[in-house]
Amino acid sequence: MRIQKSTDSLHFSIQVTALILIALMFLLFIYGCESAVVQDEGEFTAFTNVTVIPMDTDDESIQESQTVIVSDGVIERIGDSDDIDLPGNATVIDGNGRFLIPGLAEMHGHVPGPDDPQYLEDVLFLYLSNGVTTVRNMSGHPIHLELRERLNRGEVTGPLFFTASPWLGGDRVTDTETVDRVVREFQEDGFDLLKIGSMEREVYDQMAETAHETGIPFAGHIPESVGLTRALEVEQESIDHYDRYVEFMAEEHPDYSQRDPGFFGSGVVDLVDESRLSEAIEMTIDAGTWNVPTLSIVEHLAIPDDPEEMAAWDEMKYLPQDLVQGWVDSKRNFLDRYNTDRETAMRLVELRRQITHELHESGAPIVLGSDAPQFFNVPGFSIHREMRMMVDSGLTPYEVLVTGTRNAGIYYEDDATFGTIEEGSLANLILLEANPLEDIGNVRERAGVMIRGEWWPEERIQERLSQIAE
Q: Class of the 104-420 domain?
A: alpha beta
Q: Side chain identity at 459, as an amino acid letter?
A: E
Instruction: Supply the angle between the helices 295-302 and 321-337 in degrees, to the nearest 10.
Output: 70
DSSP string, 129-165: HTTEEEEEESS--HHHHHHHHHHHTTSS---EEEEBP
Q: Could you tell me which residues are beta bridge partners of residue 196?
A: 168, 220
What is the CB neighbour count within 10 angstroms for residue 437?
A: 17
Sheet containing 238-240: which strands, arranged edge to edge?
A: 194-196, 218-220, 238-240, 290-292
Average model confidence (pLDDT) for the chain? Answer: 91
| Percent with pLDDT over 90 in the chain | 85
pLDDT digits (tens, 9 = 90+) for 55-72: 999 889 999 999 999 999
Strands 99-102 and 104-109: unpaired
pLDDT computed for residue 179 by the predictor:
97
Q: Side chain identity at 456, as an amino acid letter?
A: W
Cα maximum dimension of the chain = 121
Helices of type H across 42-165:
117-129, 142-152
What is the CB neighbour count within 10 angstroms for residue 20?
A: 10
User: Are the C-beta atoms of residues 410 and 417 closer than 8 Å to each other?
Assistant: no
Least confident of 293-297, 333-337, 423-427, 453-457: 333-337
| Percent with pLDDT over 70 in the chain | 91
Q: How far apart are the first and last CA of the chain?
A: 94
pLDDT computed for residue 33 by the predictor:
35
User: Are the C-beta atoms of residues 66 and 75 closer than 8 Å to each other?
Assistant: no
- Residue 325 neighbours by CB under 8 Å, 6+ apart: 311
Cα separation, 118 vs 112, whole angstroms: 10
pLDDT digits (tens, 9 = 90+) for 398-446: 999 999 999 999 999 988 899 999 999 999 999 999 999 999 999 999 9
- Residue 193 neighbours by CB under 8 Å, 6+ apart: 136, 162, 164, 165, 216, 217, 218, 219, 237
- 187 has pLDDT over 90: yes
Least confident of 58-62, 126-130, 146-150, 268-272: 58-62
User: Are the C-beta atoms of residues 450 and 70 closer than 8 Å to each other?
Assistant: yes
pLDDT digits (tens, 9 = 90+) for 17-64: 444 343 434 333 333 333 222 223 458 999 999 999 999 998 899 999
- 196 has pLDDT over 80: yes
What is the CB neighbour count within 10 angstroms for residue 228?
A: 24
Phi, psi of 419 (to 5 degrees): 100, -10
Burial tier of 406 (Cβ tally within 10 Å: 0-12, 13-18, 19+) = buried
Cα separation, 449 vs 451, whole angstroms: 7
Kindly report the length of the chain.
470
User: Are the C-beta atoms of residues 58 and 50 closer than 8 Å to each other?
Assistant: no
pLDDT computed for residue 8 by the predictor:
43
pLDDT computed for residue 168 by the predictor:
94
Cα separation, 77 vs 129, whole angstroms: 25
pLDDT digits (tens, 9 = 90+) for 252-305: 999 999 999 999 999 999 999 999 999 999 999 999 999 999 999 999 999 999
User: How many angstroms from the chain centroid is the CA of residue 37?
Assistant: 32
238-276 burial, b at 16+ Cβ within 10 Å, e below that, comes to bbbbbbbbbbbbbbeeeeeeebebbbbbbbbbebbeeee
Q: Which of 239, 344, 224 is nearest to 281 (CA)?
A: 239
pLDDT computed for residue 60 by the predictor:
94
Strand (E) or helix (H) holding 267:
none
Cα separation, 277 vs 298, whole angstroms: 19
Least confident of 194-198, 296-300, 333-337: 333-337
pLDDT computed for residue 5 by the predictor:
37
- pTM value is 0.89
User: Are the C-beta atoms of residues 134 and 106 closer than 8 Å to each other?
Assistant: yes
Mean pLDDT across 332-349: 90
Mean pLDDT across 345-356: 97
